[in-house]
Amino acid sequence: MNKDPYTNLASALHSTFSKQTKQAVSGVGAVLGTITATGLKLDDFKHELQDYMIAELPGMLALPRYMGTGTTAKLEEPYWDDKQINTSFYMEKTDIEDVRLELNQGLKPGDRVLAVRVNGGNDVVVVCRVVSAGA
């Protein structure tokens, strides 16, 4: 039998700290999940979550100069008779401020997502949709 009280104390502290650390870290980090019709199902948690958050990305959209094709119609002139002209449009480089990417508008049941646990694992934030590299 070991009569050294410090060895017993060190062993008890090590065991307690180890358990506390595992418990604290287990609820934090990124995890894959699937959007369902009624919520979010994380791969490492057996219950579906109905109360989760979805990232929204505010910012500025910078569009390069590009050419688009389309159809023009001039309805004011009677001799056009609803004629249309196929043409190309050159759009100049532009920056659009106060743009917001709303991820929740594009998610559907069955979509695979990357979620991050926050607030000590009490809340989950869906960060993005994930797809196979071959898709």
The residue with greater pLDDT, 78 or 133, is: 133
Q: What is the pLDDT of residue 42?
A: 93
Quick: pLDDT tens for 12-36.
Answer: 767 776 665 665 555 567 899 999 9
The answer, as to whether pTM is greater than 0.75, is no
Q: What is the pLDDT of residue 73?
A: 72
What six digits make up the tokens of 118? 């926050």
Q: How far apart are CA 12 and CA 2, in angstroms?
A: 14
The residue with greater pLDDT, 27 or 127, is: 127
CB atoms within 10 A of CB 4: 8
The residue with greater pLDDT, 81 or 44, is: 44
Q: What is the pLDDT of residue 7?
A: 75
Quick: pLDDT tens for 55-111.
Answer: 988 899 898 999 989 887 766 666 666 677 788 888 899 998 998 888 888 899 999
Q: What is the pLDDT of residue 101?
A: 84
Closest of 120, 110, 118 to residue 54, by C-alpha: 118
